[in-house]
Structure 1
Amino acid sequence: MTIPETDFDPYAAEVLANPFAHHDALRALGPVFRLPRYSCYGMARFADVRAALHDWETFVSSRGVGLADFAQEEPWRPPSLLLEADPPLHNRTRGLMTKVAALPGLKARLPEWKDKAADLVAGLTGKGQFDAVPELAEAFPLGVFPDMIGLRDDGRENLLPYAMTAFNAFGPRNALLAQSLAAAGPATEWVMQACRRENLKGSGWAADVYAAADRGDCTEQEAERLVRSFLTAGVDTTVNGIAGLLYALALHPQEWQKLRADPSLAKKAIEETLRWAGIAQTFFRTTSRAVNIGDVTIPQGQKVVLFLAAANRDPDQWSDPDCFNVSRNASGHVGFGFGIHQCLGQMVARFEMEAVLAALLAHVSEIRLVGDIRRRANNTLFTIEHLPVEFIPA
């Protein structure tokens, strides 16, 4: 069967500004299609995207989860030992990091995080218009996450441009990436220095990773790269998750009032945000063998772009998928990926979103949009740069 082709450019400025406008057309192409512009294949339907993410042996990550093929070109920085590694290496590093970032330790942090979120939200409530991105979505994660890792106190603002550059690098070597790399030079250097043992505090997740190196579970060099993985996975997912939650609730006041009337819907509201907001738009895999998808064969060694956000609004999977509904059971979405390479920072993001949402429910009666939002262009993420809101006191 002749494979469908499209001249669609997922990295065009107008697409990055409004990717959802194009997802119906991508899903209509079939289970798999070609994008000749980038010499790659694509999938946009939920069932196919989820299946590819699950089949790590066929759709490998070790050749890069962006457009660049690590078998053919040099990555911009040493590959992640988690996101850009396959078993058996991935089993060892993921197992180590899962022990460090264990759920009981995260749950123990939640009361402290809720207190900090409550103080932050209370200070913003009733003050009039403010920008919820720097004053809440960025301020809260930067106030709690670096302490959990054990980062030094100075320069933590560098985490944001570094993470944005890391996600830009999953796309093509376009002007957006070039600008990001140029602007993030000092931030990248700060991150590389901050991940070294001698520059860390004596306790925290980073110290635990280096303790694993001392036990022989990994090398000193691997420990440094694993700490860096925390900084990529644990910041932007949370910042954009909180911003997406605030925007969704402000845009849908009836859903906010439904949530206020029944706070037990909080976890559903978080999962619905992660499904609906489309924070991670795309990730790539590379075929390790020829594979049949429907009536089409993808040859070995081909890059495949998985449209996660399109999958999360697939009408074959979700009823009224473009609607934000805090009552929806959105579990099973691929907002954090799926399978062995699911985002390491996903539980950090969920718990921080939970802390912020609890504070909103306690202190805020209305979340009002008081101006136009502004997006920040990124090759992988669909992010909000400016979110003017007003919190009306409860």
Structure 2
Amino acid sequence: MHANPYSGVPVSDFDPYDSAVLANPYPHYERLREAGPWVWLERYGALAVARHEQVHAVLSKPDLFCSSAGVGLANFHTETPWRKPSIILEADPPNHGRIRKVVARVLSPASIGRLRSTFEAVAARMVDELVERGSFDIARELCEAFPTKAFGDAVGLPAEGREHLLPYGDMVFNGFGPINERFHERMKTSGEAVNWIAQVCRREALTTDGLGAQLYAAADDGEITHEEASMLVRTLLSAGLDTTIFTLCNAIVSFTAHPEQWALLHENPSLARQALEEVLRYDPTFHSFYRTTTQAVEVDGITLQPEQKVAVFIASANRDPRRWPGADTFDITRRATGHTGFGAGIHGCAGQMMARLEGEVLLTALARRVARIHREGEPVLHFNNTVRGLKSLPVSVEPSLAAVH
């Protein structure tokens, strides 16, 4: 346990990485929010913010709360990193801006928009095949299969070996938390995935017309180095797949728990984008990450010490009743603008337009073909230190009596 150095800040023994907490974190988040705007986590020697106001403020002030010390619990300024820091996620200005400019162009709305028709065709084909079967594991056979195919093709990955993508991402996201048993177990089994990722991030392994090739073209133009291009392809693969898969899983869990909301979407599939935003608010994939103070700074009446790790509970912020009336209610008619599902500020998710496109396309295809979704078993959770989703969810579906346009 770590003694609290901040007078007046409440102390909590809350452990966000405990399996019981990960299974149902929201009651714990409520207690954390109500304890105060800042809470000392004595298990980890970190300050925590769980209210929307404080979470948004921390994410929006990179000059005071930096990312270069690592977005995990470890402080890369004072500890030797167990991995190489991300050159975009864990970089501060001005270098962050140079890298972000390239990524933002490659993942611009115009660039992503050109993928829509291809994504729609993939989604329609997968949904049609599964609806014909009637029952299937929707987590594995749709929520995982669709992004692995659509996003993998968009990046330009080889078709063989994509089963290594999820284990690799699982390793990365576990590493944002403590070096606990969950982290060690994944590390023991990730060697083959790490080797495969290293190979497919090379230019010669990628197609010549994908997002990865565009990053290498930026290196040819001198905007970034070729080593940075390879690292950015790696970042795409760790940040752009697991999160989308688990968001889709969380969407299905939310809809099967609230069938009246699925009825609304089935009746009006054009609500798919708005529904996705509510999923990202109500049950986001990312639950927490960290920032680190750059200097002594006074906030909310307390003075934070330099190099202080701050745990940012973005999933808790999205359930804050101070920001969201009826915050614990899943309502796809809600305007969920302002949620922190993709973070906020200069480090807001660079691939959020890609994730939004994938989610909108798949929910639209499913809503057009499926009148009702029934759980045929309990959801099997995927436990990770940072992201939350499913391993499995058996369902049966009732097809629509008529095509919905």
Q: Please tell me the TM-score bracket, short chain as reference.
A: over 0.9
Within a 5 Å distance, the mapping from 1:320-331 to structure 2 comes to 320-331=326-337
Deviation at 1:74, TM superposition (A): 2.6
Deviation at 1:368, TM superposition (A): 1.1
Within a 5 Å distance, the mapping from 1:177-188 to structure 2 comes to 177-188=183-194
The answer to whether the 8 A contact 1:364-1:393 is kept is yes
Instruction: Say which SS state the counterpart of residue 37 (structure 1) adopts.
Output: coil
Decide which moves more: 61-70 or 240-249: 240-249
Partner of 2:385: 379
- From 17, 22, 27, the counterpart of 2:28: 22
The answer to whether the 8 A contact 1:237-1:346 is kept is no
- From 299, 307, 330, the counterpart of 1:301: 307
Q: Distance in 2 between matches of 1:128 and 1:204?
A: 34
Deviation at 1:335, TM superposition (A): 0.6
Instruction: Say which SS state the counterpart of residue 322 (structure 1) adopts.
Output: coil
1:211 corresponds to 2:194: no
RMSD: 1.2
Within a 5 Å distance, the mapping from 1:245-264 to structure 2 comes to 245-264=251-270
Decide which moves more: 286-295 or 88-97: 286-295
Within a 5 Å distance, the mapping from 1:64-79 to structure 2 comes to 64-79=70-85
Calculate percent identity across the aligned residue pairs.
Answer: 44
Residues 9-54 of structure 1 show CA distances to partners (whole Å, capped at 9, x for unaligned) of 1111211221112011100111111112111110000010001000
Partner of 2:230: 224
- From 353, 366, 376, the counterpart of 2:372: 366
Residues 152-207 of structure 1 show CA distances to partners (whole Å, capped at 9, x for unaligned) of 22211111110111110000000000001111111011111111122222221111
Partner of 1:82: 88
Q: Distance in 1 between matches of 2:164 and 2:170?
A: 10
Amino acid at match of 2:113: K
Amino acid at match of 2:131: T
Partner of 1:99: 105
1:176 corresponds to 2:189: no
- From 266, 291, 295, the counterpart of 1:289: 295
Deviation at 1:299, TM superposition (A): 0.8
Q: Distance in 2 between matches of 1:179 and 1:232?
A: 18
1:194 corresponds to 2:186: no
- From 136, 148, 154, the counterpart of 1:148: 154
The answer for unaligned runs of 5 or more in structure 2 is 1-6, 401-405
The answer to whether the 8 A contact 1:152-1:199 is kept is yes
Residues 328-347 of structure 1 show CA distances to partners (whole Å, capped at 9, x for unaligned) of 01111001100110112211
Q: Distance in 1 between matches of 2:213 and 2:181?
A: 37
The answer to whether the 8 A contact 1:69-1:303 is kept is yes
The normalised TM-score by structure 1 is 0.98
Q: Distance in 2 between matches of 1:294 and 1:174?
A: 32
Partner of 2:68: 62
Deviation at 1:126, TM superposition (A): 4.5
Instruction: Say which SS state the counterpart of residue 325 (structure 2) adopts.
Output: coil
Partner of 1:12: 18
Partner of 1:131: 137
Q: Distance in 1 between matches of 2:385 and 2:35?
A: 22
1:47 corresponds to 2:57: no
Q: Distance in 1 between matches of 2:284 and 2:218?
A: 35
- From 265, 283, 298, the counterpart of 1:277: 283
Q: Distance in 2 between matches of 1:119 and 1:201?
A: 23
Deviation at 1:278, TM superposition (A): 2.8
Instruction: Say which SS state the counterpart of residue 56 (structure 1) adopts.
Output: coil
Residues 252-287 of structure 1 show CA distances to partners (whole Å, capped at 9, x for unaligned) of 110111122233322210100011113111010000
Residues 196-219 of structure 1 show CA distances to partners (whole Å, capped at 9, x for unaligned) of 122222221111111111111111
Residues 232-260 of structure 1 show CA distances to partners (whole Å, capped at 9, x for unaligned) of 12101210111111111111110111122
Q: How many residues align?
A: 394
Amino acid at match of 1:30: G
Residues 319-378 of structure 1 show CA distances to partners (whole Å, capped at 9, x for unaligned) of 111110010011110011001101122111110111111111221110111211111110
The answer for unaligned runs of 5 or more in structure 1 is none
Alignment CA distance shift 1:5-1:15 (3 Å): same
The answer to whether the 8 A contact 1:141-1:235 is kept is yes
Instruction: Say which SS state the counterpart of residue 378 (structure 2) adopts.
Output: coil
Decide which moves more: 68-77 or 232-241: 68-77
Instruction: Say which SS state the counterpart of residue 367 (structure 1) adopts.
Output: strand
Q: Distance in 1 between matches of 2:151 and 2:132?
A: 27
Within a 5 Å distance, the mapping from 1:228-239 to structure 2 comes to 228-239=234-245
The answer to whether the 8 A contact 1:32-1:296 is kept is no
Partner of 2:39: 33
Instruction: Say which SS state the counterpart of residue 327 (structure 1) adopts.
Output: coil
Amino acid at match of 1:209: L
